[in-house]
Amino acid sequence: MQAVGASEEGRRVTGRRGPRAHRRRGGHGAESRDGIIAGYVLKLARESVGLTQPAMAAALDVDAGTVQSWETGRRSLAATSVRDFVRLRLRLLHLGVAGNVIDAIDDALSADYILGTRSRRASCPAPCPRCWRGR
């Protein structure tokens, strides 16, 4: 058993796995791939106009790591504010990305949401409000 806490007497004792194990197994706060489909469509949009990730980042006024994270799904486009997402769409249009490709990002975000909701429900070892909301 592993003790967690500051003082010897007031320690809270947890099992061997501890409170972080839930996150490692895909529970709350676990690294997710919620944006993988939208990220892939963004990559297709970038490649359709012949830009590298650093060039796309400069054009969008974001860090190159942000573009890479979006494209790999480590960071979801759905986590951007509405204002920033609208700005992203407009800048993609000005870069020459076809309108139907930009519209496909919206569809991809919907697909990511549906798949992410299903996978979170399946990965949570016990019913909890955060994972099972809306069921």
List of domains in the chain = 1-30 (no CATH), 36-123 (1.10.260.40)
In tens, the pLDDT along 57-105 reads: 999 999 999 999 999 999 999 999 999 999 999 999 999 999 999 999 9
Of the candidates 10, 25, 12, 24, the residue with the CA atom closest to the CA atom of residue 2: 12
In the predicted model, is pLDDT for residue 20 greater than 70?
Answer: no
In tens, the pLDDT along 25-51 reads: 344 444 456 789 999 999 999 999 999
Phi/psi of residue 21, each to 5°?
A: -60, -35
- For residue 37, what is the enclosing H or E element? helix 36-48
Q: From the CA atom positions of the chain, what is the Rg in Å? A: 19
**Cβ–Cβ < 8 Å for 67, 53:** yes
**Residue 21 has what pLDDT?**
39
In tens, the pLDDT along 99-110 reads: 999 999 999 999
